[in-house]
Structure 1
Amino acid sequence: MHTNMIKQNITVSQLNRFLKSYIESEPRLSNIAVVGEISNFKHYIQTGHMYFSLKDEESQISAVMFNYSAATLKFKPENGMKVIATGKVSVYEKNGNYQLYVSKMEPDGTGALQIAYEQLKKKLAEEGLFDETRKRPIPRFPQKIGVITSPQGAAVKDIFNVLGRRYPQAEIVFCPALVQGDTAAPSLISALKKLNSFDDIDTIIIGRGGGSMEDLWCFNDENLVREIAASKIPVISAVGHETDFSLSDFAADLRAATPSAAAELAVPDIIELRENVISLYLRLQHLYKTYISNEELKIGNFSARVSQTGILQYISIRENDINNLMIRLDFASQRKFDECENQFSALVTRLDAISPLKTMKRGYSLATIDDKIIKSTKGIKIGDVINLSLSKGKLDCEVIKID
């Protein structure tokens, strides 16, 4: 059938359709894994489709990954990244190009989850979500503690046991959530929002016990990390074991190595507090006794001095001291008064020297018209009446001539 078709005259469309059918009928090309380096990568946000090329040292092939497959990726493909792309080979009839239709893709070497982790960590760090400056201190003596974890497993038991043993005064508000699987992140976000709706919760502990990277992956969810960073209540993150670091740990106000450690960081130890109070009480008691002893010694010394000199003699000495102080005070007051009087007399003499009345006594007069001092003939007319103020008396003069 194929041979007969090729011997006939056919259109371009028929040729491309034939090649597509021929390639897709080859079982080895229907599910093939290709190793190559990504180049010319384009991700169209509106459609979600990804277009790129896979290349090695000698050749390359076009590839496409449609949105329904791209949505399953755990990492973000980038140019230069070496990957294993699995899919089928087919022909795009419109331009006759054959390409790889990718249904699954994973990094060649480092795992997809690890790459996704590093990519998101870098992105959020650049936004400042992990900055130490935005982290808040954990309250020293909390009244209410919110706990978010699975209701099953050892983590919830460990947290409750430690909180109850160390600081039984604190009330625990438990908000159960899923901690593994695709629906875990939304469940954790919902629990975090619920606790943030309360006004009297002092601290939140969020976490779970250990597991594989896949088991702990929900604590690397971008939306959950942002919710932890935006929490109005200080958050302690405790995910996995001491060697496990989730992105939630970096966004939280405090990271604990384990759920038990988170509970220890959230509250003080009541036994240590009691010991500290007793120690402070004993120290205060010692200081008080020392102070009383010193004061009693001072009183004893004073009593001894009074007994030796006699009370009347003591009073007489103090009376003489007071009289001497009064004499010194009178002398100082009189001296200050004399200084002020001399300064005042000097000021009066200086003012008198520059007084207009002093000048007028030497034969000068002050000319005014309409209560304004005349300094020149400007504005004066013949017939104006000018007032002259003399050393003794005043004159009203009529202007008969102006020079």
Structure 2
Amino acid sequence: MNDKYLTVTALTRYLKRKIDTDPHLRNIWLRGEISNFKHHSRGHMYMTIKDEHAKIQAVMFAGNNRFLKFRPENGMSVLIRGEVSIYEAHGQYQLYIHEMEPDGIGSLYLAFEQLKDKLQKKGYFDPKYKKPLPLYPKHIGVITSPTGAAVRDIITTIKRRYPIVKVTVLPVFVQGPNAAPSIVRAIEKANEMDFDVLIVGRGGGSIEELWSFNEEPVADAIFRSNIPIISAVGHETDVTISDYVADLRAPTPTGAAELAVPSQLEIREKIIHFVQRLNKQMQREITDATKRLHNLQEAYAFRYPFQVMNQKEQELDRFVERLERSFSHLLNSKMDEYRNVFQRLQVMKPSRQMQMARETLRENEKRLKVSMERLVERNTKELAYRIDRLTLLNPLEIMKRGFALPYTENGNIIRSVRQVEPTDHISVQVADGTISCEILEVKEEEEIGK
């Protein structure tokens, strides 16, 4: 008997062949919103594409997503071209994406804004990292296409403005898939050479043609460069990521050449101006020196040198006498200081100090002995006085004079006749012992008075 039951695998494969052979599902165009986006470490992108009423699992393999100009995100509305098939392991149909772009905004513009935001957060645009350009460069590197109009404009402008500078062109691709790697290699190679300034750019074009200057590897190479870089991409209205990262942005390639070198005409004018200022200053110096020379020639010392010499000889004698007196005074003063110090040292000899210390010790011992004797005598008298006072207050001393203390059987002191009754036993404490008694009669004080 034939088995009419299929296995799950057989059913799944049957459905997969049905879907894979349907021409309507081999190339579909889909609009939807991304959710559950995940970029796998192997490069594949997994996500869910949904609208208001349905959703479908989707995958975009690394071979396809490497050409994306933007970074997919959850909540982004996208336009997709792909195909539908079944993933046999889970038995579910899913969308295999071949192409994808943002819905409502160009993918290149979105990629530009995303990369700009990313690099700005990393600090690539911070002015503190901008390197100053040298005033008078000796060697300029131009990284651009060797056949474009931009390189001719740059070289012509540099040679016109500053012909003594050396210019080297590092040819690169400026558009197409090989452009970005070519520009990165040229910047890295230039940093191994003796350039003072680098001009990186190209002539104008569409955003697609300029896109190599919006690539992240190019931005990284510009940021890492130790040589100042002028970005000269397109026309004045064209703005690229390279413009933000570079040390200086030029509106055009010709403008970059003007920024890279000074103008020989301006330098010549400055030299002429400095020469004129120098001549005027030198003329003033010569005039002032001539006046000083004339004054010196008319001075008394030059007209009567022997009189001046005799006068200076007398002044020298006075100075020598003053010097000798000062030296003698200083010597006597130092001798007096020496004698005072010597006398003080004699007084402060260790043997004399020891003798004085012994005398002081003996004197202090005598004073201490007298003070201790007085203190003992005073404290002895005070102790005797306090003992006498304590003796007067001692109950035992009072009892010796005939007084006694009666106690009840419970040990309470009897202070009133109301505390006892006839036949009660009490104890009476006297000075030398205790007497046990029995109450025969109780009389209050009023009855005694009667």
Would you call these one fold, judging by a TM-score over 0.5? Answer: yes
Measure how far apart 1:141 and its partner are: 1.6
1:229 aligns to 2:223 (yes or no): yes
TM-score, structure 2 length as denominator? 0.70
Q: Secondary structure at the match of 1:148?
A: strand
> Structure 1's 288 and 89: CA in aligned 2 closer, same or farther, altered over 3 A?
same
Q: Distance in 2 between matches of 1:331 and 1:151?
A: 91
Q: Distance in 2 between matches of 1:60 and 1:328?
A: 113
What are the superposed Cα offsets for residues 85-132 of structure 1, whole Å, 9 maximum, x if unpaired? 222233334333222221111011222112222333333344444443
1:42 aligns to 2:38 (yes or no): yes
Q: Secondary structure at the match of 1:244?
A: coil
Q: Which amino acid aligns with 2:225?
A: S
> Structure 1's 56 and 341: CA in aligned 2 closer, same or farther, altered over 3 A?
farther
Q: Which amino acid aligns with 2:251?
A: A
Q: Distance in 2 between matches of 1:105 and 1:361?
A: 110
| More helix, by proportion | 2
Other-structure match for 1:391 = none
Task: Name the count of aligned residue pairs.
Answer: 354
Other-structure match for 1:400 = none
Measure how far apart 1:259 and its partner are: 0.9
1:246 aligns to 2:256 (yes or no): no
Measure how far apart 1:77 and its partner are: 1.0
Measure how far apart 1:288 and its partner are: 1.6
For residue 91 of structure 2, the aligned residue among 96, 116, 123 is 96
Other-structure match for 1:194 = 189
Other-structure match for 2:274 = 280
Q: Return the structure number with greater relative CO, CA threshold 8 A, min gap 6.
A: 1
For residue 343 of structure 1, the aligned residue among 333, 337, 340 is 337
Deviates more, 1:51-60 or 1:172-181: 51-60
1:122 aligns to 2:117 (yes or no): yes
1:154 aligns to 2:156 (yes or no): no
Other-structure match for 1:33 = 29
Gaps in structure 1 of 5+ consecutive residues: 1-7, 365-403
Given that 2:87 and 2:93 are in contact with CA atoms closer than 8 Å, whether structure 1 keeps it comes out as: yes
Measure how far apart 1:174 and its partner are: 1.5
Other-structure match for 1:296 = 290
Structure with greater Cα Rg? 2
> Structure 1's 320 and 115: CA in aligned 2 closer, same or farther, altered over 3 A?
farther
Q: Distance in 1 between matches of 2:130 and 2:325?
A: 68
For residue 264 of structure 2, the aligned residue among 259, 270, 273 is 270
- Two-structure CA RMSD over aligned residues (Å): 3.1
Measure how far apart 1:23 and its partner are: 4.5
Q: Which amino acid aligns with 1:95?
A: H
Q: Which amino acid aligns with 2:247?
A: D
What are the superposed Cα offsets for residues 251-273 of structure 1, whole Å, 9 maximum, x if unpaired? 33322221111111211111111
1:54 aligns to 2:49 (yes or no): yes
Other-structure match for 1:184 = 179
Measure how far apart 1:31 and its partner are: 2.9
What are the superposed Cα offsets for residues 287-332 of structure 1, whole Å, 9 maximum, x if unpaired? 1211222232334345455399966666666666655555554454
Other-structure match for 2:415 = none
Aligned-pair identity in percent equals 45
> Structure 1's 307 and 50: CA in aligned 2 closer, same or farther, altered over 3 A?
closer
What are the superposed Cα offsets for residues 317-372 of structure 1, whole Å, 9 maximum, x if unpaired? 6666655555554454444334333322221111111225767999x9xxxxxxxx
Q: Which amino acid aligns with 1:33?
A: W
Q: Which amino acid aligns with 1:234?
A: P
